[in-house]
Structure 1
Amino acid sequence: MDELYHSPNLVAVYDTLNDEREDFDFYLSQLLAPPAKVADLGCGTGTFAIELAHRGYQVVGIEPATQMLASARVKGGDAVCWIEGTVADVPETERFDYIIMTGHAFQCLLRDTDVSNLFSEVGRRLVPGGAFLFETRNPAARAWDRWTPEHAGAPRPLPDGRLVRVVHEVERVEGELVTFLESYELGNPAERSHSRSTLRFMAAERVIELAKSRGLTVEDVWGTWAGDPFDPTHSPEIIFRLISASDGTEGIS
């Protein structure tokens, strides 16, 4: 697992580096009113799960990284039911109106089998007609071309007064897989931590094919957080709303 998700030093700066909320606002706009039951899959430090709970939703936060979940528990207490692991660790007796996966976490699934397994596990835990909402970056937009030191943003202030600056450097591109190094300058360039990641940039057609093979129906696909329709050649994002089978069963295995 990437260093960012289990190093206490880096988990402490995660919220500062991920404080934009256009994705949260978009997903909130897709939900029925509380008290619908929602799973935040890959909940990280719990920011979105806690907000959902405070709005009156019944929320389960699911996160495999121990340090991230520890931070979430401190922030959210018992307002959320926290589960360390993946959706496969949630009892199949639990059924959700919505399962949401934010932060481009879907791109950490590097093999077709990983994606298919996710869709199967999600489908078994949605109520009939329940929705799975998630996003992945559109490969046609080639976001990785901008992951260079020249595109690094200005240092950002942390709650403890230090500054953090993030620098990206792509190491290799192999088909759909992009491996890159993130360097975190904490206080000064000499104080650096690193996290290496590999992400998969899947075409929308392949995601849809795998989803349908596991009994999930594609209801909507958007290309921006403003809700614009997905354009395969220009949209920066591919945002999916998948619906479970009406009878709650899984599709072809």
Structure 2
Amino acid sequence: MPDAIFAHPRLAAVYDAFDGDRDDLGAYLGIADELGADRVADIGCGTGCLAVLLAGSGRTVMGVDPAEASLRVARAKDPAGEVTWVHGDATAAPAFGADLAVMTGNVAQVFLSDDDWTRALRGVRGALRPRGHLVFETRRPERRAWEEWASDTDPVVLDLPEAGVVERRFEVTDVSLPLVSFRYTYTFLSDGAVVTSDSTLRFRDRDEVETSLVANGYRVRDVREAPDRPGREFVFVAQRTA
């Protein structure tokens, strides 16, 4: 089940506003250019920011996400229907012959068990053409991002045209490495509604990720820094083996 922040209709509707500028997406567009990718699968596409950007560059794009509320927001950004939107998780990605599959943000870290991660990698592999690429980012556990998160407790308040004034609070609820859990609490001041969303991420180190890729039919071509978050994340560039 996707987290409420993506699946609850009221939270999905305000997600983009609280997420802010997606400065990270330009790097993925650049990678698509670098790899000559004309067909791209955006796995865990959420509200569709990257998928729409890729389609606008003339590519054939499929966006896959398990949260119908987020896909509803994504479809509204794509009135011409240029993107193929698929409701499901990574294992539900249909054969697409993709030159490139991407997982941005925290998508690669939501697969908590080894079995879930294996199924995700195999599902994405099935969406790729032979020798197609998978590119994704994951936070470096040695940076201990959760400690920064725990110290940032100030609420964020936005006045949104579609929702009125909304307050968001954040708290880290558990650190049991390699798992870190946290909670968002949204208060809609227009009617006093309070909606919470609990999430858990798994922090895998570089060797663990590389080993899992090789075991599931990929060759690791490169491991890079995230240009917008240097030193904080790895960006893996893997290629489906023939």
TM-score where L is the length of structure 1: 0.86
Cα deviation, residue 165, structure 1: 3.5
* Partner SS, residue 45 of structure 1: coil
Paired residue for 1:5? 6
Within 5 Å, which residues of 2 pair with 1:182-197? 182-187=184-189, 191-197=193-199
Unaligned runs of 5+ in 2: none
User: Which amino acid letter does the alignment assign opposite residue 184 of structure 1?
Assistant: Y
8 Å Cα contact 1:35/1:56 also seen in 2? no
Within 5 Å, which residues of 2 pair with 1:49-60? 49-60=51-62
Paired residue for 1:87? 90
8 Å Cα contact 2:185/2:196 also seen in 1? yes
Paired residue for 1:127? 129
User: Structure 2 residue aligned with 1:75, among 77, 81, 93?
Assistant: 77
Q: 1:194 to 1:161 in 2, by over 3 A?
A: closer
8 Å Cα contact 2:168/2:186 also seen in 1? yes
* 1:87-131 CA-partner distances (Å, limit 9, x unpaired): 332333x21000011121111100111111222222232223211
Paired residue for 2:23? 22
Unaligned runs of 5+ in 1: 229-234, 248-253
Cα deviation, residue 86, structure 1: 2.2
User: Which amino acid letter does the alignment assign opposite residue 4 of structure 1?
Assistant: I
TM-score where L is the length of structure 2: 0.89
Cα deviation, residue 52, structure 1: 0.9
Q: 1:81 to 1:161 in 2, by over 3 A?
A: closer
8 Å Cα contact 1:152/1:166 also seen in 2? no
Paired residue for 1:36? 38
User: Which amino acid letter does the alignment assign opposite residue 114 of structure 1?
Assistant: D
Paired residue for 2:238? 242
Q: 1:157 to 1:225 in 2, by over 3 A?
A: farther
8 Å Cα contact 2:137/2:226 also seen in 1? no
Identical positions, percent: 33
* Partner SS, residue 31 of structure 1: helix
Paired residue for 1:219? 221
RMSD: 2.3
* Partner SS, residue 239 of structure 1: strand
* 1:20-66 CA-partner distances (Å, limit 9, x unpaired): 22220111111138770001111111121111111100001111111
1-structure distance, mates of 2:37, 2:224: 26
Cα deviation, residue 153, structure 1: 5.5
Count of residue correspondences: 239
Q: Which moved more, 1:216-225 or 1:205-214?
A: 216-225
1-structure distance, mates of 2:93, 2:156: 40
More strand by share: 2
8 Å Cα contact 1:133/1:241 also seen in 2? yes
User: Which amino acid letter does the alignment assign opposite residue 45 of structure 1?
Assistant: T
Q: 1:227 to 1:26 in 2, by over 3 A?
A: farther
